[in-house]
Structure 1
């Protein structure tokens, strides 16, 4: 066991989760009056909330995540990529500006692409997913996927506790995989701190939410989570990296293609996601969130199984099982009243 691993073993992950949770909760609680005054999200035809609610508490989540992860990394002699830290700061500022003044779509995309590109193109040339592809082509495809992932986290953050129900199971699974040696320690630190920070935010976001993440939270969460999953794929676990966020990927991507096929302005706000159909069909918010959380636990279990069996047959079965489970939930959301 190397020195970094020894140090990480001395400082239990649960302690890091607890510190991040407490820090996130404290910053959220103290910042609510300012957010109430300067970053109020007012209901409109596309909203799921009914009363004006402050947004921007994502700053607490990101601050807690980066502070705890950075402190833990320094103590354990682990290096978090500087490009990731800088990109997270920049994309957080982009989200903050968008929460306050609503930036033009093109400006947002250019800045997001710069942040994702900084992370992707500064990675080691030995970090590969499909070695048969030319490196510039693979990195270009990862850049596009990263931009989409950052945005889909933002798109899916439209219901109380939705992002908590997505991020907590994923980061908990990443922590477990890291402890078992299947993920780089920098990614383990980020995932652990993010898990705790989301847990600290959860009491303020439970129905009916007292505060929202806002773009200042959803965009950098997408960047950090996407990087952790990319690290998992670079470690040869592409199936697990696909399974963990598969619900968000399916709901947002299918919705995007549907809107394009209908020639709608797919870049504009809407109420076309499956989880939005579920509430429109009469389902309660807690019921929808409960089903999403349960689905993500299933997907996390399948992802861990693909890693630790090392069997191609098990991987194929896990991918098919995950696809069936997602299809089942999406069908319920779009066609049935389940409350």
Structure 2
């Protein structure tokens, strides 16, 4: 019953936000660098800060032991400080384009709070911390780069959260169940409005940064609990697409921070004229297959990384080159 009520609250509050966003012109206008052609409400990802506040409120009133009394649970208020910092900053960035330097400073502060949340400063040797900061901030921005067509980040996040829920329930309990369930319900409600041919709303930076931050925290907790970093592969498809596209753009001497249309999913939509929803489902399905292999495989972690990353990267490059080749033939 609790989850039904929470889901209903998400629906109501998101529809209230739509009215506010329409009134104050918080909308996304299509341009030559985007993959949509309709004016759409921006910032639908505000549902994730709402999910956090509802989670905290529910735990405080109905399960306070989960917040204060359980020694094996982290401090969710520390997570909330970092999470709300990055989502508020990102919402402001949706409204006014903030300087890159400002964003990076706040990302650094938020990741610092995240590391405190997962007890990273105690567990990790000091020489590893710079690499963790780079990885975490990189994942945050990769999630933002990849959110470019209807449904893609919602479906992808739902696959990751579902995988984490299964691991938490059946393999290695590492966090309060509701800390996974609440963002999952938020994802489902968001997809109701976004997974459409003509989306009613987009995530915006507030959503892509918010859900990425939440997922990073969950994966970090799982890695610490199990002592196995193979769970990073839950993000492998987004990672491969982002890294290869950045390398490609650097070779072309392009500004990697500027919007573009060179991700594989964008080429499928813009060059191959594939449906947004089909491409989003394919990305989600491919990542789901990877996650199932990661969960069920008892192989050495490095071997799992090689088995997943190398073939996926080769397939990615092959598909991309093939689409680009066909595009050049059409233009000639």
**Cα distance between partner residues in 1 of 2:57 and 2:186:** 14
- Aligned partner (choices 1, 4, 28) of residue 41 of structure 1: 28
Within the alignment, does 1:286 sit opposite 2:286 as a pair? no
* Residue pair 2:118, 2:220 contacting (<8 A) in 1 also: no
- Aligned partner (choices 115, 118, 129) of residue 120 of structure 1: 115
**What is residue 39 of structure 2 aligned with on the other side?**
52
**Cα distance between partner residues in 1 of 2:265 and 2:116:** 34
**Cα distance between partner residues in 2 of 1:21 and 1:142:** 34
**Cα distance between partner residues in 2 of 1:317 and 1:87:** 32
**What is residue 328 of structure 1 aligned with on the other side?**
315
Within the alignment, does 1:199 sit opposite 2:185 as a pair? no
Distance 1:86 1:190, change over 3 A: same
**What is residue 98 of structure 2 aligned with on the other side?**
103
Alignment of 1:112-261 (within 5 A): 112-121=107-116, 123-124=118-119, 128=123, 135-186=125-176, 188-206=177-195, 207-236=197-226, 238-261=228-251
TM-score by length of 1: 0.84
Structure 1 unaligned segments of length 5 or more: list them. Answer: 1-14
Distance 1:33 1:23, change over 3 A: same
* Residue pair 2:294, 2:304 contacting (<8 A) in 1 also: no
* Residue pair 2:250, 2:256 contacting (<8 A) in 1 also: yes
Residues 294-303 or 230-239, more deviating:
230-239
TM-score by length of 2: 0.85
Question: What RMSD in Å do the two structures reach over aligned CA positions?
Answer: 2.5
**Cα distance between partner residues in 2 of 1:108 and 1:192:** 29
**Cα distance between partner residues in 1 of 2:163 and 2:136:** 20
Alignment of 1:70-109 (within 5 A): 71-72=58-59, 75=63, 77-79=65-67, 80-81=74-75, 82-109=77-104
Q: Which runs of 4+ in 1 moved over 4 A?
A: 15-20, 125-128
**Cα distance between partner residues in 2 of 1:265 and 1:125:** 33
Structure 2 unaligned segments of length 5 or more: list them. Answer: 68-73, 327-332
**Cα distance between partner residues in 2 of 1:125 and 1:280:** 42
Shift of 1:303: 2.0
Distance 1:72 1:273, change over 3 A: same
Partner of 1:245, secondary structure, is: helix
Q: Deviations over 1:43-69 (max 9, x none)?
A: 111111102111011112331244136
Q: Deviations over 1:149-171 (max 9, x none)?
A: 11111111111001112100110
Distance 1:261 1:238, change over 3 A: farther
**Cα distance between partner residues in 2 of 1:45 and 1:30:** 30
Distance 1:22 1:278, change over 3 A: same
**Cα distance between partner residues in 1 of 2:143 and 2:306:** 21
